[in-house]
Amino acid sequence: MIRLLSLFYYFYFSIVGIYVIFLPKVLSSVGYSASEIGFIFSAAPLIRFLLPFLFMKGLALNSRLFNGALLLLCLSSASFYLSLDHFFLLLLSNIGLGIGLSLVLPYVELISLNAIGKERYGKVRLFGSVGFILVALVLVKFLSGATVALNFLFFLTLIMVVIAYFVQAFSQKSLENDQELPKSDIALLRDWKFWSALLLMQMSFGSFYNFFTIYETDQGLSLDMTIYLWSFGVIVEVVMLFFQGRFLRGNLLSVLQITIFATALRWLLVYAFPATLGVLFFAQSLHALSFALFHSAAISYLFMHYSHKKLAQQFFSGISYGLGALLGAVLSGFIYEYYPPYLFLSSALIAFGAFGMMTWYKRSCS
């Protein structure tokens, strides 16, 4: 099972790498405007945010729906070939891919935590980071046209779908015990401070994921050096995922506090020293805390805190990587257009807000 899960994460995040790094460039190369690209890529986070509410109303994330999501991924990735030159068809292809990815990952995350536990989770999840960076390094050498990127997307999706099918098939017995699912105990209003912290944390990443490369090259850094900064962040992420088990044995809320504070410090350093390489590499080293350890601590806390574990993972994906990513992208775009020097200062302030919310929530739990 560990090998299957490792392969799943590798290929899943290889697909995410193609989607995030290369598809915007592909759409630009075939004539889409920046506003059209932005609209197309805002659809998937919105879908990711809306899906958990359907599950809250009774839709069940079971093996049948999971297999349906795998089929949808195959059809959606294939449809890009036909929809690339047609805006609304491309939007539908993007929505289909977003739905499939949003359903598959939380289900497998639950399988991972059930099968290997939170302390070994990072050593399996790190293969996703490896897949993300390797597909970037490989595809950039072969990206001679839109068809190349679509070929990578389609064939890697097929491989991931096959692996995901066997992951759920081999783990189905262990998940059948989850069929006694209790009524939903996901109380967004009761735990609003915790969910607000998750939302603000991901919002703070809007400037990084959408504008870090543009921001640093505008500050005078070469594109090569900016790519080295990206790569260094992924390397420290992999190291943390390998060794993080010991950190997840303690108080998970304290871990979340520390990682959020480190994120605020990270953005503040990028704002204050935008062209100082030593400081920038140190700031990127904090990616080990602000992404790798934060993500693992968050899903582990949700796994322990709520009895409706599938729905908890769905809401984490929807609120953090759905609504948080959507709002972060929109806000950072507005700030970079009108107040570019303050891009990462705004991210630091948002992250400090997340830290305050998590501290408030922790105190209310004690």
**Encoded tokens for 264:** 């605020």
- With a cut of 70, say whether residue 56 has pLDDT above it: no
* pLDDT category of residue 142 using cuts at 50, 70 and 90: confident
Burial group, residue 119, by CB count within 10 angstroms (0-12, 13-18, 19+): middle
| Mean pLDDT, residues 130-140 | 81
- The yes-or-no verdict on residue 175 having pLDDT over 60 is no
Q: What is the pLDDT of residue 77?
A: 94
More confident residue, 219 or 20: 219
| Model confidence band, residue 9 (pLDDT cutoffs 50, 70, 90) | very high
Tell whether the torsion through CA atoms of 301, 103, 207 and 138 is positive or negative: positive
Q: Kindly tell me if the per-residue pLDDT of 159 is higher than 90.
A: yes
CATH architecture under which domain 192-365 falls: Up-down Bundle (1.20)
Which pLDDT score, from 0 to 100, does residue 107 have?
85
Higher-confidence residue: 198 or 189? 198
- The residue among 245 and 349 whose pLDDT is bigger is 349
Say whether pLDDT at 136 is over 70: yes
What value does the mean pLDDT take over residues 196-213? Answer: 89
| pLDDT tens readout for residues 307-366 | 777 778 778 888 888 889 888 888 888 888 788 899 999 999 999 999 999 999 999 887
Residue 182's pLDDT is 52
- Give domain limits for the chain: 2-180, 192-365
pLDDT for the residue 209: 80
State how far the Cα of 176 lies from the Cα of 114, in Å rounded to an integer.
Answer: 12
Least confident of 173-187, 197-211, 238-252: 173-187
* Nearest by Cα to 311 from 54, 117, 98: 54
Q: What are the structure tokens assigned to 10, written together?
A: 């590798």
Of residues 181 and 83, more confidence is placed in 83
Work out the percent of the chain whose per-residue pLDDT is above 70: 93
Q: What mean pLDDT is predicted for residues 225-235? A: 85
Most confident region among 6-20, 160-174, 262-276, 305-319 by mean pLDDT? 262-276
Q: What is the architecture, at CATH level 2, of domain 2-180?
A: Up-down Bundle (1.20)
Measured distance CA(321)–CA(134) in Å, rounded: 22
- DSSP assignment of 39-107, as one string? HHHHHHHHHHHHHHHHHHTT----HHHHHHHHHHHHHHHHHHHHHTT-HHHHHHHHHHHHHHHHHHHHH
58 pLDDT tier (thresholds 50, 70, 90) = low
* Residue pLDDT, tens place only, 96-130: 998 898 889 888 888 887 877 777 787 888 898 88
pLDDT at 93: 93
Task: Tell me whether the CATH fold assigned to 2-180 matches the one assigned to 192-365.
Answer: yes
Q: At 248, is the pLDDT very low, low, confident or very high (cuts 50, 70, 90)?
A: confident
**Residue 286 pLDDT > 90:** yes
pTM, 2 dp: 0.78
Structure-model confidence comparison of residues 187 and 107, the more confident one? 107
Would you state the pLDDT for residue 162?
96
Contact, 325 vs 198, CB < 8 A?
no
Percent of residues, the chain, with pLDDT higher than 90: 39
Q: Point out the least confidently predicted range of 163-177, 249-263, 343-357.
A: 163-177
C-alpha span between 29 and 9 (Å, rounded): 29
Per-chain mean pLDDT for the chain: 86
Higher per-residue confidence, 189 vs 301 = 301
Mean pLDDT of 170-182: 56
